[in-house]
Structure 1
Amino acid sequence: MRNDQRAITDDQRTHAGLIWDYHQMRHPLQPVDVAIGLGSHDLGVAAHSARLYAAGLFRTLVFTGGNSPTTAEVFPRGEAVHFREHAIELGVPAGAILLEPKAANTGQNISYSRDVLAAAGITPRSVLLVSKPYMERRSFATARKVWPEVELTCASEPLELDDYLKSIGDENLVLDMLVGDLQRVIEYPRLGFAVEQDVPDAVRAAYESLIHDGFTSRLIAS
Structure 2
Amino acid sequence: MGHELRPCDAAVALGCNDLGVSTYAATLYESGLFPTLVFTGGNSPATSGVFPRGEAVHFHEHARALGVPADAMLLEPNAANTGQNIAYARDLLTTAGVRPRSVLLVTMPYMERRAFATCRKQWPETEVVCASDPLPFDAYLKAMGDEEAVISMMVGDLQRVVEYPRLDFAISQYVPEDVHAAYESLVRDGFTDYLIAS
Interval containing the TM-score (normalised by the shorter chain)? over 0.9
Q: Deviations over 1:146-199 (max 9, x none)?
A: 000000000000011100110011010000011000000000001000000000
Match of 1:205 in 2: 181
- 2:16 matches 1:40: yes
Question: What residue is the counterpart of 1:89 in the other structure?
Answer: 65
> Is residue 27 of structure 1 aligned with residue 27 of structure 2?
no
Q: Following the alignment from structure 1 to structure 2, what is the Cα–Cα distance between the partners of residues 173 and 48?
A: 22
Q: CA deviation at 1:37?
A: 0.3
Instruction: Give yes or no for the alignment of 1:115 onto 2:103.
Output: no
How far apart, CA to CA, are the structure 2 residues paired with 1:160 and 1:178?
A: 15
Aligned to 1:71: 47
| 1:168 equivalent in alignment to 2:147 | no
Matched, 1:177 2:133: no
Q: Distance in 2 between matches of 1:195 and 1:154?
A: 15
Mapping of 1:41-56 within 5 angstroms?
41-56=17-32
Of the two structures, which has the highest relative contact order with CA contacts closer than 8 Å and spacing of 6 or more? 1
SS at match of 1:210: helix
Identity between Structure 1 and Structure 2 (%): 68
TM-score in terms of structure 2 length: 0.99
CA apart distance, 1:40: 0.2
Aligned to 1:133: 109
Runs (4+) of structure 1 exceeding 4 A deviation are none
Aligned to 1:192: 168
Local SS of the residue matching 1:37: strand
Alpha-carbon deviations, 1:9-32, whole Å to 9, x = none? xxxxxxxxxxxxxxxx01000000
Cα root mean square deviation, aligned = 0.4
Counterpart-to-counterpart distance in 2, 1:74 and 1:211: 26
**SS at structure 1 position matched to 2:169:** coil
Which structure 2 residues correspond to residues 51-62 of structure 1 after superposition, within 5 A? Answer: 51-62=27-38
What is the TM-score normalised by the length of structure 1? 0.89
CA shift, 1:82, in A, is 0.2
Unaligned runs of 5+ in 1: 1-24
Give the Cα separation in 2 of the matches to 1:200 and 1:87: 36
**Distance in 2 separating the partners of 1:200 and 1:74:** 34
Count of residue pairs the alignment pairs up: 198
CA distance in 1, matches of 2:157, 2:23: 22
